[in-house]
Structure 1
């Protein structure tokens, strides 16, 4: 499995290349580039048939295990381009290390991180004209692994497909970098300790859709999930980790087995510490959050994730009542974190953490 993987390159014909979208109206996940990366794992051959090829459909058996037992994992990453045309990745090794952790938990094969990063560099360089340069935009990369063996019966597959597709993206939320409205769910839960909430398994997101649709119908952008046992402690918000800035400290829920260890979460903790802000990982109850919103001790709240980077929260809806955070304005810390993370990601600010990786 760990032998050098040879990557073939099959370029898309010029007359088959897609028209690139208007960079001012990218949205999120609407457009896909001309090429993708894919490789196959089988129990007999390990990882093989690695190639950069034209973006294409898969032909899969209706009995493929992924359709029946949800053996599927993925990651979310971004590539950035500055005004000089330099391309950057942001901590890609951390995403792929986490993906290997997800693979182990889901009984799927791990892969050589350094070799996959080299293949990803080649793919993004080939698609460099798709990388937007507008502030807040990026080329989003979606590595995915699925069980492709045709069989019925709950079991690890003997055949897997790994692939990476690329999409130029703008702001994740329609609100852009403005405060979002969050619905707190005390009825449904995202994940329980001992389950797969701490890995990026596709089924986690499928399970969240029902409550998310309820929240959207009520006018809210995302759902704030509480713990599965007591419905008391804050865990995640939508597809992101969450932070609360109280008067004396910046707090995020500790990684207790049901929370995804976000790359942006970790970066936020380290960056805040470099600002001299006391950052703490500990249990946070919804009662503490609501009391802080009412008293004013809760000065800011924001979500962190690859897609939205930093997403300020201006309103929480809990048990039939709305609670406003920071007068529904973007907080100073949220704005500074967002700005400095973006500047580091685009190579526009000194990177003391050695987070960015040059592509070309």
Structure 2
């Protein structure tokens, strides 16, 4: 086994030096039940339009399904815990709410750079082959992170850490080295159901299970067409993602606000005014969200979300901005504008 105590201690120290908040190690065969749960979730259609999850389900089901030679998995967590209350803008009808993770730079590039640096260090120390992943590959990050001792999968299905609450970005290193594994983390949710009751669209059919088709994070980011009417009013002023189930977790009280410059909030993204956002054309949208995860949904999907928020605002001052989209080249935007205008006129 390559994972002697000295190497493991040095590896963990190097990870913290590089800026990771936590690190744990597990075996490639540590989460055999995750594959069966994934397949059932897909069979039930809970993934909605995320067809890419179906196409690589076998690779996602286990680390060996993606890379047969992998022996150990190193899981890394990076905190993005906010200093501001993610729920502070509830009821502020003229202001859009963007999910905390997208308040500044897209996390993928920063974390992948750090993962590669740690991977180079490990190869120099112990050899072996490895691969690094940040969220875009078919990797079961959350079950693996729980098995590696970083935390546990809460009833909202996201990872919960005793030290960092629900605010961890996850990255993985697969390696052919046989490293000593950490103990998995026990579930500390207990009888708490705050994340379940906080969901505005009842996206949790039961604890530890999410139906993405009802989740505002999925609907505002991944879903391309018109958002079903039943979910538009519960959206309120959420225009990119939803943090409600994360924000109410009691374990967040132990989290220290991140000091990572790339994740510190940009003022223009923490409380943007809907009237200004509805004026964005493609060039202005790309400029405003340069480097942000928001940019990947494109201007039309973003405007669609802003129109639903405007319709929920009850603010007659937004009528001209909404009317400007009644003849959009995008049929989804046009329909959203008509819905919003009727809501505002009725109000």
Structure with the largest fraction of helix: 2
Structure with the largest fraction of strand: 1
Q: Could you state the TM-score of these two structures normalised by the residue count of structure 2?
A: 0.30
More relative contact order, 1 or 2 (CA 8 Å, 6+ apart) = 2
Q: Could you state the TM-score of these two structures normalised by the residue count of structure 1?
A: 0.30
